[in-house]
Structure 1
Amino acid sequence: MHDLYDIERVVPHRGTLRLVDRLVAWDEDSVAVELRVPHEGPFSHAEGVPAWVGVEYMAQAIAAWAGCRARSAGREPSIGFLLGTRRYESRVTWFVAGALLRVEATRELLGDNGLGMFRCRILEDGDELATANVSVFEPPDAMAYLESTTQ
């Protein structure tokens, strides 16, 4: 069984921009995190949180997976990039404030160049609310990559 790290140790997002609350499980190919949909926050409305924010929930679940892999190898988690999604489908328009959501991501592909594709879903009480395929990129040196793209 893999160590269940504190979410702060594996996800680089901080403050109100960290949208996932807890690492539930992870292995070499998948991860599960939980979050309580906030009543107040950068995406909160009277109706809850818009379903399109689910893409970021999925991206942060993938970040947790990458962070867990880094920690288990004795490295610090690095910065990754959300490249896009395919077929994001949601059965709901809003995630209701106070709801406990489980976000799962399963690795479909991960290249040596840092490009990856994950099959993701968001559940509430076992009911699937949203699904997508999420593309990500984790360069070997994120800061060098960022500097090279701004020149």
Structure 2
Amino acid sequence: MNTLYDIERVVPHRGTLLLIERLLEWDEESAAVELQVPADGPFNAEQGVPAWVGVEYMAQTIAAWAGCRARRAGGEPSIGFLLGTRRYVCAEPYFRPGAVLRVEARCELLGDNGLGMFACRILEGGNELASANVSVYEPADAKAYLENDEA
């Protein structure tokens, strides 16, 4: 059984930009997290949280997976970059405030160069609300990458 870390120990996001709340499970190929859709927050509209925020829920789940792997290896979570998404489909235009969501990410491809592709989905009570393929990049040295003029 892998260690179920506190979410702040495995993702670099903080404050109102930390959108996921609890790590449910993780292994070498996948992770699952949970969150309760807030009644108010930086992304809320009158009807709830817009469906496009689901992409960030997925990206933060991937960050949690990478952070768990880093912690297990004795390291710290690193900064990664959301490159894009393919086939994002969401059943509703908004996530309902108060809804408890499970977000899953499964690694489909992870290159030695830090590029990765994940199959992700968002569920509420076992019903799939959204799915997508998410592309990410985790440079070996994020600080050097960000300071590089060619970044």
TM-based fold match above 0.5: yes
RMSD, aligned α-carbons: 0.9
Q: Which AA in structure 2 matches 1:131?
A: S
Q: Counterpart of 2:148 in 1: which secondary structure?
A: helix
Deviation per residue, 1:45-69 (Å, 9 max, x gap): 2211000000000000000000000
Query: Match for residue 125 of structure 1?
Result: 125
Q: Which AA in structure 2 matches 1:5?
A: Y
Q: Which AA in structure 2 matches 1:96?
A: R
How far apart in 1 are the matches of 2:91 and 2:41?
22
Q: Counterpart of 2:132 in 1: which secondary structure?
A: strand
Query: Match for residue 22 of structure 1?
Result: 22
Query: Match for residue 5 of structure 2?
Result: 5
Aligned positions, number: 151
How far apart in 1 are the matches of 2:150 and 2:63?
23
Deviation per residue, 1:65-113 (Å, 9 max, x gap): 0000000000001000000000000011100000000000000000000
- Which runs of structure 2 are paired with 1:135-150 in the superposition (5 Å)? 135-149=135-149
How far apart in 2 are the matches of 1:72 and 1:54?
27
How far apart in 1 are the matches of 2:149 and 2:121?
32
Q: Identity of aligned pairs, percent?
A: 73
- Give yes or no for the alignment of 1:65 onto 2:80: no
How far apart in 2 are the matches of 1:79 and 1:130?
25
Q: Which runs of 5+ in 2 are unaligned?
A: none
Shift >3 Å, 4+ stretches = none
TM-score (norm. length: structure 2) = 0.98
